[in-house]
Amino acid sequence: MEALERGVLPVHRWTGTHRYNQSDMPVREQSEVVGHAVMAMYLYSGMCDVSSVFDDEGLRSTLRILWDNLTRRRMYITGGIGPASYNEGFTEDYDLPNATAYAETCASVGLVFWAHRMLQIECDRRYTDIMERALYNGVLAGISLDGAKFFYENPLTSLGNWERRIWFGCPCCPPNIARLVMSLGQYAYSQSETDAVVHLFVGGTATFLFGDESLVLRVDTPYPWEGRVAITVMTRVTSPFGIRIRIPGWCEEFTLELNGRAVGQPRLDRGYVRIERSWQIGDQIEVNFAMHSELVCARLEVLDNAGSVAIQRGPLIYCLEQADNHLPPGSSAPFEKASLDDRISLDRIVLPMHTKLESSFDPALLGGIVVVTGDGAYDSGNNDELYCPTRSRFKPFGITAVPYFAWNNRQRGEMRVWVRSI
């Protein structure tokens, strides 16, 4: 409004629209996430801060509407946001192309910022689940395993033409992801006047202040590879207080123990369990999340993913890389795109909806990861004709999938998150 009073139209030089910087209407009237994705995340984070300072429930109501619009209609399965390169941001509902996904690393970082602030307004796992999804997938994919190279954009399909780079002409992503990783502790925990809250599951210690007393919790866990989390009380606090622990939305079964004894029928409050008592040094809570590999499908409105499935295990989204998917020894490549080492073209792999997925930890692969395997098939159809009659042309093929965050850390090759299904 100030710009209009000065006779200046605050439109972007590329797009020529006020929606680019979310200035097309007052923020309290907005119901869709629009424009530049990083700007939007920073704006909504600021709105959260203002709503907290002034206890503004009206602004919080707007934020919840915007949150639902983003997470139910305009977010990739990896927690990436902003599909378009022309505005580095949003387009319309369910427009989530894979090969041309912009999904800027900074935008996923911004989503973590916003989710964290929403979580401070109300302790609800729907914010924590998205924060975790963005952290483990959309953010971590932006940096190589050795910490030396970065993605600016994060596609969900690659023909082998994408590689991380050491630096960019617009160098926002490298320092943004670095500061987030270094400040991870503030996202993993929080506290109220009565509770210490564990949001994310990361090995280490955390200190909470209750009046003049300090509480230290130690967390031991192999998460995200396994679902076991042990939380040990390291200091004594004289007054009773609660410990809240998030039960992730992806987890359908879990067990909870206190000092080796099962906690019967734990009650969930917005996705968190709470145990209150007078804690002693050495008290331990152990929670075990059942962690299964499963196939996930998208809404039918997401046209790019029609007839396709993705693999999820715990908080991690998986992908196929050409480096892991070869024809059986002695086979000859039956189609044009197969390379000399018989790597299979990923667009010919299909996964039955009923396929059984197995997982195993490989300490020698990519620094030590859990890989997911399953029985699929590959299309050995005729390459000579553009169209041909339908016939049975699928041959058995065992697939291997790795976490999306770890892709492009070996030789160049194709990558797919979404795989055709039959």
Tokens of 22: 């979310």
172 an active-site residue? yes
Contacts of 195 (CB under 8 A, 6+ apart): 241, 242, 243, 244, 274
What are the distances in angstroms from CA 120 to CA 133, 241, 247, 275, 405? 18, 19, 17, 20, 27
Provide the 3-class DSSP secondary structure of residue 131: helix
CB atoms closer than 10 angstroms to residue 188: 18
> Catalytic: which of 5, 29, 32, 88?
88
Please choose, from the candidates 232, 236, 227, 218, the residue with its C-alpha nearest in 3D space to the C-alpha of residue 284: 232
Least Cα distance to 295 among 231, 205, 357 occurs for 357
Give, in degrees to the nearest 5, the angle at Cα 318 between 314 and 323. 145
Active site residue 226: no
Is 198:243 a contact under the CB 8 Å cutoff? yes
Of the candidates 32, 172, 257, 294, the residue annotated as catalytic is: 172
Task: State the DSSP string of 27-68.
Answer: GGG--S--SBHHHHHHHHHHHHHHHHHTT-HHHHHHHHHHHH
Token readout for 327 is 């024809």
CA distances from 297 to 353, 364, 416 (A): 10, 31, 14
CA distance 305 to 289: 29
Q: Which residues are catalytic?
A: 88, 172
